[in-house]
Amino acid sequence: MNQSVPVINCEGCGVCCMTFGHPRYFWTQDQGSMIDQHWIDLPKSMVVEIEAYLETLGGDDDADFGKPCIWFDKVKLNCRHHRHRPQVCRDFEIGGDSCVRLRRQFGIE
Ligand code: SF4
Ligand code: SF4
Protein backbone atom coordinates (compact mmCIF):
# COMPACT_ATOMS: atom_id res chain seq x y z
CA MET A 1 0.00 0.00 0.00
CA ASN A 2 1.30 3.48 -0.89
CA GLN A 3 1.04 5.62 2.23
CA SER A 4 2.26 9.21 2.54
CA VAL A 5 4.90 9.85 5.18
CA PRO A 6 3.45 12.40 7.63
CA VAL A 7 5.12 15.81 7.57
CA ILE A 8 6.40 16.44 11.07
CA ASN A 9 8.60 19.54 10.78
CA CYS A 10 9.97 22.15 8.40
CA GLU A 11 13.58 20.98 8.45
CA GLY A 12 15.05 20.90 4.95
CA CYS A 13 11.86 22.32 3.43
CA GLY A 14 10.85 25.98 3.37
CA VAL A 15 8.84 25.61 0.17
CA CYS A 16 5.87 27.62 1.47
CA CYS A 17 8.29 30.56 1.83
CA MET A 18 9.35 29.90 -1.77
CA THR A 19 5.96 31.04 -3.02
CA PHE A 20 5.04 34.03 -0.87
CA GLY A 21 7.01 36.79 -2.56
CA HIS A 22 7.21 38.95 0.56
CA PRO A 23 5.97 38.95 4.16
CA ARG A 24 2.22 39.49 3.87
CA TYR A 25 1.02 41.46 6.84
CA PHE A 26 -2.17 42.70 5.23
CA TRP A 27 -4.13 39.50 4.99
CA THR A 28 -4.50 36.22 6.83
CA GLN A 29 -5.74 32.87 5.56
CA ASP A 30 -8.92 33.07 7.62
CA GLN A 31 -9.81 36.73 7.71
CA GLY A 32 -9.19 38.22 4.30
CA SER A 33 -7.86 41.75 4.21
CA MET A 34 -6.71 43.23 7.51
CA ILE A 35 -3.55 44.51 9.15
CA ASP A 36 -1.99 42.14 11.61
CA GLN A 37 -0.46 43.08 14.94
CA HIS A 38 2.97 41.85 13.88
CA TRP A 39 3.09 44.65 11.31
CA ILE A 40 2.29 47.22 13.99
CA ASP A 41 5.04 45.77 16.19
CA LEU A 42 7.60 45.46 13.38
CA PRO A 43 10.93 47.30 13.84
CA LYS A 44 11.14 50.41 11.67
CA SER A 45 14.06 49.07 9.62
CA MET A 46 11.96 46.10 8.50
CA VAL A 47 8.98 48.31 7.69
CA VAL A 48 11.25 50.43 5.51
CA GLU A 49 12.64 47.33 3.79
CA ILE A 50 9.19 45.96 2.99
CA GLU A 51 7.73 49.30 1.89
CA ALA A 52 10.68 49.91 -0.42
CA TYR A 53 10.25 46.44 -1.87
CA LEU A 54 6.49 46.90 -2.38
CA GLU A 55 7.16 50.06 -4.36
CA THR A 56 9.05 47.93 -6.88
CA LEU A 57 5.86 45.93 -7.51
CA GLY A 58 4.16 48.92 -9.11
CA GLY A 59 1.03 48.90 -6.97
CA ASP A 60 0.23 45.20 -7.39
CA ASP A 61 1.22 43.54 -4.13
CA ASP A 62 0.42 40.12 -5.59
CA ALA A 63 2.73 40.54 -8.57
CA ASP A 64 5.40 38.47 -6.83
CA PHE A 65 3.11 35.71 -5.63
CA GLY A 66 4.71 32.36 -6.46
CA LYS A 67 8.23 33.74 -6.03
CA PRO A 68 10.51 33.27 -3.00
CA CYS A 69 9.79 35.56 -0.07
CA ILE A 70 12.35 38.34 0.31
CA TRP A 71 12.92 37.18 3.89
CA PHE A 72 13.59 33.57 2.94
CA ASP A 73 17.18 32.43 3.46
CA LYS A 74 17.74 29.99 0.59
CA VAL A 75 20.90 28.59 2.16
CA LYS A 76 19.58 27.92 5.64
CA LEU A 77 16.05 27.29 4.30
CA ASN A 78 14.43 29.41 6.97
CA CYS A 79 12.97 32.86 7.63
CA ARG A 80 15.53 35.61 8.28
CA HIS A 81 13.13 37.31 10.67
CA HIS A 82 11.15 34.37 12.00
CA ARG A 83 10.28 36.17 15.25
CA HIS A 84 8.61 38.96 13.26
CA ARG A 85 6.86 36.87 10.61
CA PRO A 86 3.24 37.77 9.74
CA GLN A 87 0.21 36.02 11.20
CA VAL A 88 -0.49 34.24 7.92
CA CYS A 89 2.88 32.51 8.18
CA ARG A 90 2.12 31.53 11.77
CA ASP A 91 -1.27 30.16 10.71
CA PHE A 92 0.14 28.03 7.88
CA GLU A 93 -0.43 24.49 9.11
CA ILE A 94 2.56 22.18 9.08
CA GLY A 95 1.33 18.98 7.48
CA GLY A 96 -1.91 20.64 6.33
CA ASP A 97 -3.30 20.29 2.82
CA SER A 98 -1.43 23.32 1.43
CA CYS A 99 1.80 22.23 3.07
CA VAL A 100 1.60 18.70 1.67
CA ARG A 101 0.61 19.96 -1.80
CA LEU A 102 3.52 22.39 -1.93
CA ARG A 103 6.00 19.79 -0.68
CA ARG A 104 4.90 17.42 -3.45
CA GLN A 105 5.05 20.22 -6.02
CA PHE A 106 8.66 20.91 -5.04
CA GLY A 107 9.57 17.23 -4.87
CA ILE A 108 9.77 16.94 -1.09
CA GLU A 109 7.78 13.91 0.07
S1 SF4 B 1 5.72 23.64 3.32
FE2 SF4 B 1 5.14 22.77 5.29
S3 SF4 B 1 6.93 21.59 6.02
FE4 SF4 B 1 7.60 22.99 4.39
S5 SF4 B 1 8.33 24.82 5.48
FE6 SF4 B 1 6.18 25.17 4.92
S7 SF4 B 1 5.00 24.50 6.70
FE8 SF4 B 1 7.06 23.64 6.90
S1 SF4 C 1 7.94 32.74 7.27
FE2 SF4 C 1 9.31 34.46 6.77
S3 SF4 C 1 10.34 33.86 4.87
FE4 SF4 C 1 8.52 32.56 5.11
S5 SF4 C 1 6.93 33.61 3.94
FE6 SF4 C 1 6.77 34.22 6.10
S7 SF4 C 1 7.95 36.12 6.23
FE8 SF4 C 1 8.54 35.10 4.35
The Å distance, Cα 86 to ligand 1 centre, comes to 15
What is the b/e burial string over 63-100, where b = at least 16 CB atoms within 10 angstroms of the residue's CB? ebeeebbebbeeeeeebeeeebbbbbbeebeeeeeebb
**Segments making up each domain of the chain, as ranges:** 27-105
pTM, two decimal places: 0.86
Going by alpha carbons, the residue nearest to atom 4 of ligand 2 is 17
First and final C-alpha spacing in the chain: 16
Task: List pocket residues of ligand 1, CB cut-off 6 Å.
Answer: 7, 10, 13-16, 92, 94, 99, 102-103
Taking Cα atoms as reference points, which of 12, 8, 26, 7 lies closest to residue 89? 26
pLDDT in tens, 23-38: 999 865 555 556 778 9
What pLDDT sits at residue 9?
84
C-beta contacts of 1-5 below 8 A and 24+ residues apart: 4/100, 4/109, 5/109
State if residue 69 touches ligand 2 by the CB under 6 angstroms criterion.
yes
What pLDDT sits at residue 100?
92
Best probe residue, ligand 1, of 11, 16, 72 (max atoms within 8 Å of C-beta): 16
* Averaged pLDDT for residues 16-24: 94
pLDDT in tens, 88-102: 899 999 999 999 999
How far is 73 from 79, CA to CA, in rounded Å?
A: 6
What pLDDT sits at residue 1?
44
